Amino acid sequence: MNNRKLKLGIPAGSLQEATAALFKKAGYNITFSSRSYYPQIDDPEIECLLIRAQEMAKYVDEGILDAGITGHDWIVETQAKVVEVCELVFSKTSRRPVRWVLCVPNNSPVKTVKDLEGKRIATEAVGLTKAFLAKHGVNAKVEFSWGATEVKPPRLADAIVEVTETGSSLKANDLRILDEVLQSTTRFIANRTAYQDVWIKNKLDNMSLMLRSCLAAEGKVGIMMNVPRKDLATVLSKLPALQTPTVSSLSDPDWVAVNTIIDESLVRAMMPELRTAGARGIVEYGINKIID
């Protein structure tokens, strides 16, 4: 019996519920207790620790955790040396990458990054901001912001570097984006030494496969239908398949079964077209995972 435990970091805060939902789709049920930083998972070989995404890469780098989930931005910010097992393009609001942007008030005279020479910039990502300014040859005072960064200009700062998905909060606080500092997506990371262990690597690679399969299936559905052989070419011409539709013979030699995967957004327009082309018994079904 294997008594080993994989030490896995689960991001607390904005990514917590999205991470748990993704793991659930992949077959791992994580449950949280309001009084504990040790979530329970239905895999006896995994021990979870709830920790802020901002700190995750550092603890994985130091070997306190074998693996964890965090943003690419925090890997860069903490300069952690970790293995990126895979990219997981999901977030709390959308499936788009989050953006760290340099912002100033709408009425600010600042027009370019160069105009921030000698100015004060507030941000939670001090390292990212300093590296960005250095790349542009700008010397400015960069201060760590403990929160509510959007409200600091113009009285407490001349500019901010803040993370955004939709930009709605920036607009609400009368800010305009001056430049983009970094785009970031979620990463499944591992400690470099731990990942060389065969058991840990196999465990993490299998988890990565299942997590990615769930993300690949998002927005996809399967459709199957019966098609007269004489109409098969017409029906197939209307199917944008993931790869190639599966065509199977039926007991009636004049008919075949067609099965394929399409974007869910196409279904409402495609089903009437398929029926017009000769397809019958058209069925749409959900897909939880896609593994190539």
Q: Is the pLDDT score of 241 beyond 80?
A: no
Residue ranges in 90-231 assigned as alpha helix (H): 126-135, 168-172, 198-217
What region does 233 belong to: left with phi over 0, alpha with psi -120 to 50, or beta? Answer: alpha
User: How far is it, in rounded angstroms, from Cα 165 to Cα 95?
Assistant: 9
Q: What is the pLDDT of residue 94?
A: 54
- Quote the DSSP letter at residue 142: E
User: How far is it, in rounded angstroms, from Cα 11 to Cα 22?
Assistant: 13
27-36: average pLDDT: 90
Q: What is the pLDDT of residue 1?
A: 55
159-164/46-52 β-pairing: unpaired
Q: Is the pLDDT score of 70 beyond 60?
A: yes
End-to-end CA distance of the chain: 32
User: How far is it, in rounded angstroms, from Cα 117 to Cα 106?
Assistant: 18
Q: Is the pLDDT score of 251 beyond 80?
A: yes
Q: What is the pLDDT of residue 96?
A: 74
Residue ranges in 104-197 assigned as alpha helix (H): 126-135, 168-172
User: How far is it, in rounded angstroms, from Cα 3 to Cα 45?
Assistant: 7
**Among candidate residues 98, 265, 89, 102, the one with its CA nearest the CA of residue 177:** 102
224-229: average pLDDT: 97
Question: Residue with structure tokens 């903490």?
Answer: 78
Residue ranges in 79-179 assigned as alpha helix (H): 126-135, 168-172
Residue 261, both tokens: 């995967």
Range with the poorest average pLDDT among 67-81, 87-101, 225-239? 87-101
Please give the helix or strand (H or E) that residue 68 lies within, else none. Answer: strand 67-71
Q: What is the pLDDT of residue 2?
A: 67
Residue 160, both tokens: 């901010």
The vertex-142 CA angle with 137 and 147, nearest 5°, equals 140
CB neighbour list of residue 85: distance below 8 Å, 6 or more residues apart: 67, 187, 188, 189, 190, 195, 204, 205, 208
Q: What's the pTM?
A: 0.85
pLDDT digits (tens, 9 = 90+) for 85-143: 999 987 544 567 889 999 999 999 999 999 999 999 999 999 999 999 999 999 999 99
pLDDT-derived band of residue 159, with 50, 70 and 90 as boundaries? Answer: very high
CB neighbour list of residue 215: distance below 8 Å, 6 or more residues apart: 22, 88, 89, 90
pLDDT digits (tens, 9 = 90+) for 187-214: 999 999 999 999 999 999 999 999 999 9
